Amino acid sequence: MAVVIENVTKCYGRLRAVDGISLNVKRGELFAFLGPNGAGKTTTIKMMTGLLTPDSGTITVCGHPMATDSQLAKARIAFVPDQPFLYGKLTAREFMHFVGEMYGIDRNILPARIEHYMAQLAVTGYADQLAEGYSHGMKQRVVLAAALLHEPEVLVVDEPMVGLDPRTARTVKDIFREWANAGRTVFMSTHTLEVAEAIADRIAIINHGRIVACGTLDELKAKAAREHRLEDIFLELTDPKDPPELEEAVIPM
Amino acid sequence: MSAMETPALMPASSANEPTFWLLMRLKLTILRNRVRQLTDQTPLQLLMVLGFLATIWLGLYLIFDQVFRFIRRFEKEAIIALPYVFHLFFFSMTILLGFSTAVLVYGSLFAREEPAFLLTTPNKPRNIVAVMYVEALFFSSWSLVLLGIPLMVAIGSVQGLPWHFYATFIGAFLGFVPIPGAIGLVIALLIALFLPRMAKRSLMYASAVVLMLIVAFWGRLWVISSSESITRRWVHDLLGELSYLKSVMLPSTWVSKAIQFSIQDNPAEAAFYLGMTVLTGLCMSHWAISFVAWKLKPAFGRAHSAPTHSRKYTGWASRLLTFVAFFYLSKRMRAVILKDVRHFLRDPVQWSQLAILFGLLSLYLFYLPRSKPDGFSMQWQALICFMNFVAITLILSTFTSRFVFPMVSLEGKQIWLAGLWPLTRSQVMWAKFLYALTVTAAAAVPVTYLSIRAVELPLIMGIAQMSATIGCCIGLCGLAIGLGARWPNFKEPTASRISSGLGGTINLIASVALVAVNGTLFAVTCLYSMNERQLLKLEWHSAAALSAAIVASVGSAAFCMAIGIRRFRRQEF
């Protein structure tokens, strides 16, 4: 297993943002993680990447528990957040060099690898300009290229398609699919149901901090036992009959 | 090479672990790029900053030089006073450095996106904390560099001290900075752990407490120093108030002693205290970094996930305030002002800084000479009247440079909204000008009135001072709004950074120049009034100078508003 999440809970005050979820994500799998706003997607991802500590339960990445062996776990993972972070006063090339050195990539192969991923994600044209002038889409491409640089076993992406033009979005989808085909794992959180429907091997839907469905598209269709579009299944499973008490707490997502 | 090759993970051995030096190299690259960008794109701004820095250094050096030459004339007093200068200086620096390091470290470890990025990488928390700590020390120690170097060079030149004094004070500075820095680092961690959603308010409360302590401390000294003539008891009481600054447990005492012994050409004692300072700094840094690194992840989690109680805003108070203060404006212009008022009132960082500024004005009022039974002499009245005018307008120029100048830029990326409002762009500008003028005048007029009452100024001179102050308010607000629109920075969301940019620097210079012109003309007003009519009548020289001051202020405002409006009209969204 690439990622094992066992009975993980995370509370913000009195609100259970993630409520005892368990997930197993296999190697070579493209896993889509869906849910409405405030369902607990980003909190789960932050715990997977070691940014937050679960209140209870364990998360293991490639056999390394995030709680006790976080450095080795993090060495095998790459995270692309929904709000891409770049140092404004660094160029894309300088940033990628930094990331490459941080992950210990051999200096002899690092420049060629940087060129390869920059070309693949069409970053080369602005690679030597300061990042402070980039648009959201440009930043997203650089961050994705940097995340791929050390060829992680698990790639975790939060809303990967936001701000990307159709051509780049297509490239990114192709990369994710090929990445999974090559035996690596992609864990993708998204609101773009068409993307999940088109490329995901398995889909999990989280609502009010709990996994309400998990399986292949066909399995989800069988569970919903009605329309054949993911959108309909999603809407049915996440029906806000019992909205969380947001007045109690504002959850920073 | 391709992504599709067999997974080839980096060996996560300790040999390949990302190091402190890699992160330091990153910070240095960022610094290099920042300087390169300044030299390439805004060399004028860089030159102005360097020029200002050199002027401040030179000015401070000349002041300290004169002070030490003056003190030297009184040998016994110099022996007593000099150590207190050092103790007070380094004690103040301990508080200032600890406070600024805590603010900087909190921003870099718990409030920015950078730590979120670094914490997802296989970097040891210790490396991240150490780099952020060094970066914070670098930036927070500017106050020490700015004030301390001219102070020490002045002592060195007045006393004719040898080279090893200079080596000692540089070593002492380097050894001293990490001591308050380490305390600041731990404070930042404690805030993230225990007050994660109150960081800004904690800063505000801490600022208020520090300000109150300073006021209380100086108030006590003021009471002692103004209660009696200079007697043995007076000296004893005054030094008694300051004696705790010389406590042997204070690091500021060790660094002061290292420098004092170096001045006295006692290298053994100087080396002892210098070593003590350096070793304490290193040990405290080591412990603080280890402790913060140990608690970094839970603290980061707390800072980013602790619940906040969402407060409901009805907005009736701000609406009422705006309606009362700007009843004469159209509804639409009032709506623009109401938006700015609410933005300001709901940002504690903004209004706490304003409170500090008004605190300074209050402090000034506190120290104003009180009326005496036998009354002030005419010369004193004229001099104090002039000094009051200059002090108040200088503080106002700081206020307008810091708070009024960024008002147009703070529309930020939503500036296109201003283009869609059913108002002409000049109306938007005038609304902002009137808002700024109302707040500025609301602070300046009562302070001026109290200062007039305090020195029992005759009516005509009181009116003259009040007119000049209001004129200056108009001038400073016009400059700040006009130049703010002429050199806007819509990309920057932080008001303090907007005001420290090129436009802000130009505005500050223009504002200080306007205050200087007004001050000069008002000095002429006071001088001629004093010569002729016992301050009871404005003769024509005085009236002309006063009129010129008001014309200069209003003219500057009109000119800057015109160029600001012109630029704002052409602004594309």
Structural domains counted in chain A = 1
In our burial notation (b when 16+ CB lie closer than 10 A, e otherwise), range B234-261 reads eeebbeeeeeebbeeebbbbbbbbbbbb
Mean pLDDT of chain B: 83
Residue B552 has pLDDT above 70, yes or no: yes
Across the range B352-364, mean pLDDT stands at 71
Count residue pairs from A and B with Cβ separation < 8 A: 135
pLDDT of residue B395: 87
Nearest to B120 among A49, A112, A153 (CB): A49
pLDDT of residue A225: 64
> Do A230 and A218 meet the contact criterion of CB atoms below 8 Å apart?
no
Residue B232 pLDDT level (bands cut at 50, 70, 90): low
The 10s digit of each residue's pLDDT in B117-140 is 999 888 889 999 999 999 999 998
Lowest mean pLDDT among A103-107, B200-204, B261-265, B267-271: B200-204
pLDDT of residue A83: 87
Give domain limits for chain B.
Answer: 18-305, 316-570
pLDDT of residue A249: 36
The 10s digit of each residue's pLDDT in A148-183 is 999 999 999 998 888 788 888 888 999 999 999 999
Lowest mean pLDDT among A209-213, A238-242, B159-163, B376-380: A238-242
- Distance, in Å, from the CA atom of B249 to the CA atom of A120, rounded to the nearest integer, reads 62
Residue B372 has pLDDT above 60, yes or no: no
What's the gap in Å between the CA of A58 and the closest CA on chain B?
A: 16
User: pLDDT over 70 for what percent of chain B?
Assistant: 85
pLDDT of residue B532: 58
Across the range B442-460, mean pLDDT stands at 85
In our burial notation (b when 16+ CB lie closer than 10 A, e otherwise), range B178-209 reads bbbbbbbbbbbbebbbeebbebeebbbebbee
Residue B481 pLDDT level (bands cut at 50, 70, 90): very high
* A213 lies in some domain: yes
Residue A211 has pLDDT above 50, yes or no: yes
Residue A252 has pLDDT above 60, yes or no: no
Give the 3-state secondary structure of residue B23.
helix
> Do A213 and A237 meet the contact criterion of CB atoms below 8 Å apart?
yes
Residue A251 pLDDT level (bands cut at 50, 70, 90): very low
- Distance, in Å, from the CA atom of B37 to the CA atom of B140, rounded to the nearest integer, reads 23
Residue B183 has pLDDT above 60, yes or no: yes
Residue B338 has pLDDT above 80, yes or no: yes
A184 CB neighbours in chain B (<8 A) are 7
The 10s digit of each residue's pLDDT in A123-151 is 999 999 999 889 888 999 999 999 999 99
Residue B8 pLDDT level (bands cut at 50, 70, 90): very low
* A222 lies in some domain: yes
Residue A10 pLDDT level (bands cut at 50, 70, 90): very high
Give the nearest chain A residue to B37 (CA atoms): A89
Give the nearest chain A residue to B121 (CA atoms): A74
pLDDT of residue A231: 77
Give the nearest chain B residue to A128 (CA atoms): B33
Nearest to B122 among A75, A87, A98 (CB): A75
pLDDT of residue B68: 83
Yes or no, beta carbons of B297 and A53 under 8 Å apart: yes
Instruction: Tell me, yes or no, if A129 comes closer than 8 A to chain B by beta carbon.
Output: no
Q: Is the ipTM of this complex over 0.90?
A: no
The CATH number that applies at residue A11 is 3.40.50.300
Instruction: Tell me, yes or no, if A151 comes closer than 8 A to chain B by beta carbon.
Output: yes
Give the number of C-alpha atoms closer than 13 A to the C-alpha of residue B471, restricted to the C-beta side: 26
The 10s digit of each residue's pLDDT in B516-546 is 999 999 998 888 777 655 666 777 888 899 9
> Do A70 and A51 meet the contact criterion of CB atoms below 8 Å apart?
no
pLDDT of residue B561: 96
Residue B417 pLDDT level (bands cut at 50, 70, 90): confident
The 10s digit of each residue's pLDDT in A21-48 is 999 999 999 999 998 888 899 999 999 9
What's the gap in Å between the CA of A75 and the closest CA on chain B?
A: 5
Helix axis angle, B378-399 relative to B502-533, nearest 10°? 170
Place of tokens 């120690």: B141
A245 CB neighbours in chain B (<8 A) are none
- Distance, in Å, from the CA atom of B369 to the CA atom of A180, rounded to the nearest integer, reads 79
Please indicate whether residue B96 or residue A227 has the higher confidence score (pLDDT). B96
pLDDT of residue B291: 96
Residue B284 pLDDT level (bands cut at 50, 70, 90): very high
B11 CB neighbours in chain A (<8 A) are 104
* A109 lies in some domain: no
pLDDT of residue B534: 62
Residues of B with CB under 8 A from a CB of A: 1-12, 16-18, 22, 26, 29-30, 33-34, 37, 113-114, 116-117, 119-124, 297-298, 300-301, 304-310
In our burial notation (b when 16+ CB lie closer than 10 A, e otherwise), range B288-321 reads bbeebbebbbebbbbbbbbbeeeeeeeeeebeee
pTM for the predicted model, two decimal places: 0.76
* A41 lies in some domain: yes
User: pLDDT over 90 for what percent of chain B?
Assistant: 33
> Do B546 and B519 meet the contact criterion of CB atoms below 8 Å apart?
no
B299 CB neighbours in chain A (<8 A) are none
pLDDT of residue B38: 85
Residue B224 has pLDDT above 70, yes or no: no
Yes or no, beta carbons of A72 and B306 under 8 Å apart: no
What's the gap in Å between the CA of B230 and the closest CA on chain A?
A: 58
Q: Which domain holds residue A206?
A: 1-76+185-253
What's the gap in Å between the CA of A145 and the closest CA on chain B?
A: 11
Tell me, letter by letter, the H, E, C secondary structure of chain A: CCEEEEEEEEEECCEEEEEEEEEEECCCCEEEEECCCCCCHHHHHHHHCCCCCCCEEEEEECCEECCCCHHHHHHCEEEECCCCCCCCCCEHHHHHHHHHHHCCCCCCCHHHHHHHHHHHCCCHHHCCCEHHHCCHHHHHHHHHHHHHCCCCCEEEEECCCCCCCHHHHHHHHHHHHHHHHCCCEEEEECCCHHHHHHHCCEEEEEECCEEEEEECHHHHHHHHCCCCCHHHHHHHHCCCCCCCCCCCCECCC
Residue B367 pLDDT level (bands cut at 50, 70, 90): low
Yes or no, beta carbons of A71 and B124 under 8 Å apart: yes
Residue A227 pLDDT level (bands cut at 50, 70, 90): low
Residue B164 pLDDT level (bands cut at 50, 70, 90): confident
What is the C-alpha R_g of chain B?
27
